[in-house]
Amino acid sequence: MLAGLPDASGSWHFPSVLGSVPPLPVNGAYIGYQIVNLILGILAMWLAAKAVVPKETATFGNVLKAWVCNFALGIGIVVVGVVLLMFAMKMHDAMRSWLMLIGFGGMVLGLVLLIPMKVYSIEAPRAFGLLLLTFCIHFAILFIGLLAVVSFVGRDRVMAVVGQQQFMAMVQSRIAQVQHAQPGQP
């Protein structure tokens, strides 16, 4: 059985490790990274729009409009998704829960494609290409930036700023505690 999925009886199970791990620390470096990430996402969408969308609609204003709509959609997805997940957990019927969640996923996919279609007046394949190219450009910029920061500052200092070493140490100690308490399971 996979963690976080309903079993045959319709009950939902989540690993106990997740409940005891504190979130990553939110410090100035983390907030700065998120701001840079948002700006790079907008620039990646602008570059992708220049390549995929007709020139008269590939303006920076349309990119900002599409980004704001996507941002609002993301917040709406989280809110509606949490409500639907709570509703699905109360159903005690795995098949209906899965159908509801799959339908929600299809609706989200349709809305994600609809935003660039409406903003840029393009068809669905171009909208999909725009989103895929935006993701690839954004990932490439982030990866190159991460390599530059790590080579300039050093890996240990970057990990200390992000807090990943402390986080991973807490996760590993909690996993060891759970495995020690349940010796018969892997």
CA dist., res. 67 & res. 15, Å (int)? 35
Tens place of pLDDT for every residue, the chain, 186 residues?
A: 444 444 555 544 444 444 555 555 566 777 888 888 899 999 999 999 999 999 999 899 999 999 999 999 999 999 988 888 888 778 777 788 888 889 988 999 999 999 999 999 999 999 999 999 999 999 999 888 878 877 777 767 666 655 665 666 666 777 777 677 665 555
CA dist., res. 136 & res. 25, Å (int)? 28
What does the DSSP 8-state code read for residue 5?
A: S
CA dist., res. 44 & res. 137, Å (int)? 6
Strand pairing partners for 6? 12
CA dist., res. 28 & res. 161, Å (int)? 9
Secondary structure of 61-75 in the HEC alphabet? HHHHHHHHHHHHHHH
Q: What are phi and psi of 12, to 5 degrees?
A: -95, 140
- pTM for the model stands at 0.65
